[in-house]
Structure 1
Amino acid sequence: MASISKCQVDCTSEDDSSDCNESTSKSCMIADQPKAKALDVKKTRLYSDNYVNYGFTFVEKQSMQQPRCIICHKLLSYEAMVPSKLQHHLKTKHPAAAKRDQLYFKCLLQSQQKQVQFFTKAFIVSDRAQLASFQVAELVAKNMKPHTVVESLIMPACRLMVKTMLSDEAEKVIAKIPSSNNTVARRIEMSDISVCNQLKICKRFSLQLDESTDISGKAQLMAFVRYPNQQSLIEQFLFCRELIQTHGEDIFKYVCTFFEQHGLLWQWCTSICTDGAPSMTGCISGFLSLTKATNPNITTTHCFIHREALISKTLPSDLPTVLREVVQIVNCIKLHPAKSQLFSKLCKDMSSDYITILLHNIRWPSRGKVFVRVYKHHLELKTCLQNQPHNEFATLLSDSSWTSKVSYLVDIFEVLNSVNLGMQGVDANILSVTDKLEEFKRKIDLWQQEIETATSIHMFPNAARADLRGVALHDLFLEHLALLKQQLQHYFPSLDTSDKDWVRNPFHQHKNLAGLSLMEKEQLIDVETDRSLQLKFNSVNLAQFWLEVEVEHPDIGAKAIEVLLPFCTTYLCEKAFSAMTSMKSKHRERL
């Protein structure tokens, strides 16, 4: 430093000032270089296998190895990765282990590692077991099976298969899945919370409600919900609860209580579909009237399947008698075991397609199946009943006029059942359901025209074989078709959905856009001219397409979802009630 100061004093001339400054700066850099290196650079210390002699292992943090005591699990600083500091910790903190050898510390470290692996494995198995339990409960609920089937059948079968195919250890892992009856019941009840959480996110949904009684005579209220997610419209079970009173006010109070408990708002509900029961449709205290008072924007729908069933019950004056007589013939065979066995043997001897006839129930479509089976066993029934003490049924089966009416009922019930089945199923909307009814309406007009002008009844093949010229049943056909058309107009005043054709296919030119605002029409033009959307339209379903459109064009997309979202039938509720009837038998009702 003395030489540096001397240099600074001697260099006073202007010519030598630059050289002096240069030499001074170089000398300062040389003098300060070791100090800067000591401050800026830290020495990296690595763990050595010999450090286990001092009872230490290491933990890697931020790409640095940090020593950790095997005995007390204390983490030391990075600078402590030296033998002297590690040995000092061992002697001061654990003097009893200071004289232990390397084998002791290695055994202790291995024991700790095995314990960590055991707890990690146990945690993973427990977590996966809980997930499997929820998945199994979801399958049971979707297939509408009793929750006791898991503990009584699914788990024993699963354990047996795993033990046979894999090993005993795998069977022990499977046995850890919670599968008790109460656990599965709780899992299914917790699905309500999951669905409600999704409804809180989308904030728009439609309801489907129906009320019925179980085998014990208790009233059950069933509800399903449809809501959009990012890819499709989801239909989920919402709740099923027992009701003490079944008035409209009681149903409304319970649904309001459920909404309050789960944080749902009536403003999010866009539509409700129910049957035509007075408790639902009452104009003063009906459930729908009370919901309209809460949210005037809710649209209500009377189940299309229920209305079609009411139309099916419309018959001319002669046909109800024929229907009742067919039911009596079936009951005469089915309610007597001896006659039923004799009829089955007779069918086998005559090489019939079926060996029994069907017993009708309260469902109207089942009566169509009963008529088909009776018509196909016409000869067998006549042979079986003609030697009985009361052979008036054999007389009816020998009457050509009576059998012609039965054949017509077989044909018309087949048509009505086809319409009914066409409106069933998931993802049914106002567009698909009205198409089925419009098709039926136009067929009635065509059949009336053919019968009146050409006296042709070939649209009813069984009746045409029974009455080749169609003379005997000509007036009956026209009368029944006129009644069906009249009732169809009564229960479905308007089936015109041309103003919603843009939802079916937005890439065609549509004239009827009266229900759209200016902004929605502009966005519809954007959709029509988008070639990428046109290609996507042919590869996805209608709901998924409009949900994707809604991301880029929110107004027209939301308008289309508003058309597709409402339920048109109570099919899901009816299906659930049928499952409840099969599960909750007389024996299970006592549990």
Structure 2
Amino acid sequence: MDLWLKTGSFGQLPNNGDNNFAGKQENGISTSGLNHAKEVESVDKLDSDDPDQSNLDISISSVRSHEEVGDSAATETRKRRRKYNSDYIRYGFFWRGTPEAPRPLCLLCHKTLCNESLKPSILKRHLVKQHKESSRKPIEFFQEKCEKHKSHLKEGAPELIEPTVREHVTSESFRAALSIVKSGIGSSLVKPVAKKITKIVLEEKVKYEVENITLSSHTLKKRIAAMDENIKNQLVARLQQSKYFSLQLDEATVSGERTYLQCYVRYVFSGEVHNDFLFCRPLSKNATGETMFNVVDDFIIYNNLDWSQCVSICMDDAHAGTGRWRSLARHVQEIAPFAELTCCCFYHNELIKKSLPSYLITVLDEAARILNSIKERAPSSFVYGTLCDAMGGEHCKLPRHPEISWLLQGNILLRLFELRDEVQILFRKCDDLGDQVHSFQWLLKLAYLSDIINAVNQLKQALRGKGITVFQVQDQVKRTRAKLNMWHEYLDKGDFGPFPSCAEFLVTAEKELDDVAVKAFKDHVQSLCSELGEYFPEPNPCLEWIRNPFEDKKCIEMARNKLSSESFDSLTAMSADAELESLFWQSNLNSFWVKVQHKYPELAEVALRYLLPFPTAYSCEVGLSMLLSLDSETSNPLDLEPLMRLRLSDIEPEISKLVHQRGQCQS
């Protein structure tokens, strides 16, 4: 006690053998504890104005702090740190952190558990409950995952960890925005429905988690802009890597007021030829060819693309002869002299209209007037629907198409012809349209037009798709022309067998057909066959080796004069390569020539320059349909391009990257 009062702290008292502060106990109570209690009590009895009072308070707090440190150290000593066992890999777990205190890391969901969870039972429960589909996987499956994780860390990449709840919510917000754009469903409908479903099927608390996914119009617009920029950057990066690319341009007029310039690109990436949407920019009504060229040139320059990579620019044949497009072609050739200027091989509306004589165009015009007359007047439309139901008509609704060009698509004329009985009842013989509906000659021409348009539409359907090659187009056109020549021979005999609508009408009408109508139909069939020949000229026989360099040796001999001696020797060697022949039959034509670039670069360059130009206007037709639907949904023309890119592009947005960038901006 005297030592404590003099020094202000407990010191180690000398051990005389009689006093043992650690071991002696009386009645189960520690002697050192009793002595300590007495000493503290005596200190409490000291006068408060004692000069050494402050020193005593400091000493007491020091004693207590020493005791607390000792207790925590003892607790830390008693706490057991579990170690990672290599057998835990069978449950899909590796470890992260320090070797002294490792934490289990799930190799499937990258979730990190606490050190106390390093127990086989806990790890197995996590595998079975969270990853039931992988619980029966062999141990080699998890070992492969572990090796990939180790190599990922060796490359200096950040450690894979479980995304936070906020990142999950943001990712789902991006995916919901993408689905809304592609499906056209309103954002005001998606979220309330999702909340109701989760509340009914799951639990009440899940509804509040769905509430965190923001789908307001402002947020949706930001998500669309971010995904649009991400897809465009990916596309530009692909074009910069591609050795060649080709462009397709189309001028589209919407609602008779706004005009847009659509542009699509065809390029080589990852061993395949891809088609994608490039841009859609508004144009003024009086835009010149130079203005359209500047729109394309600004996009090329702004995105650091090279005109020398462009091998072809394709445009609509209906506009190719106009002054504006000639001016555009002249500007393109000045800056890209090696780019080939081609025309879209297939706009079936223009093809049919060019071959139609005046009397058939009159029938189309009158058919459009009949359709509009029914749809514009509510009583007529109601009576027409009632008649169809009463007479068992196959179609109860007629489309409204004020322009003749729309009648050339689908089966509109065929539907009108099949409903001729109902239309005849609706139109009395009181005006010119009523007279036409009841006229035998007019109905026969309508039946003939429906059969011819159906044949051309079959050709169009055969040429749909982004992977169509110029050889496939030529083959389909060749078959269609052979079919038309056969129909011409049938008409010479007075046989309408190839024309099902005409044959059915002649049987039901029980009237004889005059020679004038037969001759008119024959002339039109021959004119249509000639138009197809002008649209699709015969392929160059010197380039047939591109179609198949292994089968026909005559095609290889014909290419001798078109190829250099080195290229011809390479072609001869390629035709005898059994390994490449096996690759040819396993791949499509475009990807085959992309894959042989490293071995036969000169032959691949000639082939790709011939295959890369757009063979059809399929992309433009799909884009025009999308443009018409989106134009009615948005009032700002500048908002159309992001929406069209998200709907038409095959490139998926990198949502995880966008979420990461957004998190960095907020931090």
Matches of 1:321 and 1:288, distance apart in 2 = 36
Aligned equivalent of 2:551, options 484, 508, 514: 508
| Contact 2:368-2:404 within 8 A present in 1 as well | no
| Contact 1:419-1:440 within 8 A present in 2 as well | yes
The aligned counterpart of 1:202 is 242
SS in 1 for 2:586: coil
SS in 1 for 2:302: helix
Matches of 1:235 and 1:526, distance apart in 2 = 31
Distance 1:108 1:357, change over 3 A: same
1:481-516 CA-partner distances (Å, limit 9, x unpaired): 233234344444x23243333233222124244333
2:593 pairs with 1:546: yes
The aligned counterpart of 1:296 is 337
Distance 1:417 1:319, change over 3 A: same
Matches of 2:581 and 2:160, distance apart in 1 = 51
Matches of 2:553 and 2:368, distance apart in 1 = 51
| Contact 1:464-1:470 within 8 A present in 2 as well | no
TM-score normalised over the length of structure 2: 0.64
Aligned equivalent of 1:229, options 269, 291, 303: 269
Distance 1:574 1:317, change over 3 A: closer
Q: CA deviation at 1:529?
A: 2.6
The aligned counterpart of 2:412 is 370
Q: CA deviation at 1:344?
A: 0.9
Distance 1:337 1:552, change over 3 A: same
The aligned counterpart of 2:385 is 344
1:70-115 CA-partner distances (Å, limit 9, x unpaired): xxxxxxxxxxxxxxxxxxxxxxxx99996562277699999x999x
Distance 1:329 1:429, change over 3 A: same
2:498 pairs with 1:459: yes
Distance 1:272 1:374, change over 3 A: same
Report the AA paired with residue 217 of structure 1: E
2:445 pairs with 1:405: yes
Report the AA paired with residue 412 of structure 2: V
Distance 1:575 1:339, change over 3 A: same
Matches of 1:427 and 1:140, distance apart in 2 = 27
Report the AA paired with residue 298 of structure 2: T
Q: CA deviation at 1:140?
A: 6.2
2:369 pairs with 1:325: no
The aligned counterpart of 1:482 is 526
Distance 1:534 1:300, change over 3 A: same
Aligned equivalent of 1:416, options 456, 464, 472: 456
Q: CA deviation at 1:343?
A: 1.1
| Contact 1:411-1:460 within 8 A present in 2 as well | yes
* Corresponding pairs, count: 490
Higher mean alpha-carbon deviation, 284-293 vs 100-109, is at 100-109
Aligned equivalent of 1:560, options 607, 621, 644: 607
Matches of 1:537 and 1:361, distance apart in 2 = 49
1:264-302 CA-partner distances (Å, limit 9, x unpaired): 010011111112465886489622221111111111221
Q: CA deviation at 1:363?
A: 6.8
Distance 1:170 1:565, change over 3 A: farther
SS in 1 for 2:628: helix
Higher mean alpha-carbon deviation, 302-311 vs 399-408, is at 302-311
Report the AA paired with residue 102 of structure 1: A
1:2-52 CA-partner distances (Å, limit 9, x unpaired): xxxxxxxxxxxxxxxxxxxxxxxxxxxxxxxxxxxxxxxxxxxxxxxxxxx
| Contact 2:245-2:266 within 8 A present in 1 as well | yes
The aligned counterpart of 1:520 is 567
SS in 2 for 1:208: strand
1:164-183 CA-partner distances (Å, limit 9, x unpaired): 66664697389468963212
| Contact 1:209-1:570 within 8 A present in 2 as well | no
Distance 1:527 1:133, change over 3 A: farther
Matches of 2:605 and 2:66, distance apart in 1 = 75
The aligned counterpart of 1:38 is none
Distance 1:164 1:365, change over 3 A: same
SS in 1 for 2:355: coil
Equivalent positions of 1:14-93 (< 5 A) are: none
Distance 1:241 1:392, change over 3 A: closer
Distance 1:394 1:433, change over 3 A: same
Report the AA paired with residue 292 of structure 2: I
2:289 pairs with 1:248: yes
| Contact 1:252-1:291 within 8 A present in 2 as well | yes
The aligned counterpart of 2:422 is 380
SS in 2 for 1:180: helix
Equivalent positions of 1:88-237 (< 5 A) are: 101-102=72-73, 143=182, 151-154=187-190, 168=205, 172=209, 175=212, 180-215=220-255, 217-237=257-277
TM-score normalised over the length of structure 1: 0.72
| Contact 2:374-2:380 within 8 A present in 1 as well | yes
Equivalent positions of 1:248-327 (< 5 A) are: 248-276=289-317, 282=323, 286-306=327-347, 309-327=350-368
SS in 2 for 1:482: helix
Report the AA paired with residue 338 of structure 2: N
The aligned counterpart of 1:569 is 616
Q: CA deviation at 1:383?
A: 2.0
Note the residue ranges of structure 2 that are not aligned, 5 or more in a row.
Answer: 1-64, 82-100, 104-111, 115-158, 640-667
Distance 1:550 1:321, change over 3 A: same
The aligned counterpart of 2:481 is 441
Distance 1:363 1:188, change over 3 A: farther
| Contact 2:196-2:207 within 8 A present in 1 as well | no
CA RMSD of aligned residues (A): 4.0
| Contact 2:289-2:324 within 8 A present in 1 as well | no
Matches of 1:235 and 1:107, distance apart in 2 = 67
The aligned counterpart of 1:431 is 471
Distance 1:200 1:339, change over 3 A: same
SS in 2 for 1:340: helix
1:126-156 CA-partner distances (Å, limit 9, x unpaired): 6666666666666666x4x56xx58545566
| Contact 1:333-1:339 within 8 A present in 2 as well | yes
The aligned counterpart of 1:396 is 436
2:358 pairs with 1:358: no
Distance 1:416 1:103, change over 3 A: farther
Matches of 1:283 and 1:240, distance apart in 2 = 18
Distance 1:565 1:130, change over 3 A: farther
Distance 1:180 1:358, change over 3 A: closer
Report the AA paired with residue 224 of structure 1: Y
| Contact 1:223-1:238 within 8 A present in 2 as well | yes
Matches of 2:542 and 2:360, distance apart in 1 = 39
| Contact 2:372-2:400 within 8 A present in 1 as well | yes
| Contact 1:301-1:568 within 8 A present in 2 as well | no
SS in 2 for 1:272: strand
| Contact 2:368-2:402 within 8 A present in 1 as well | no
Report the AA paired with residue 507 of structure 1: F
Report the AA paired with residue 396 of structure 1: Q
Higher mean alpha-carbon deviation, 295-304 vs 437-446, is at 437-446
Matches of 2:563 and 2:232, distance apart in 1 = 36
Q: CA deviation at 1:214?
A: 4.0
| Contact 1:204-1:270 within 8 A present in 2 as well | yes
The aligned counterpart of 2:108 is none
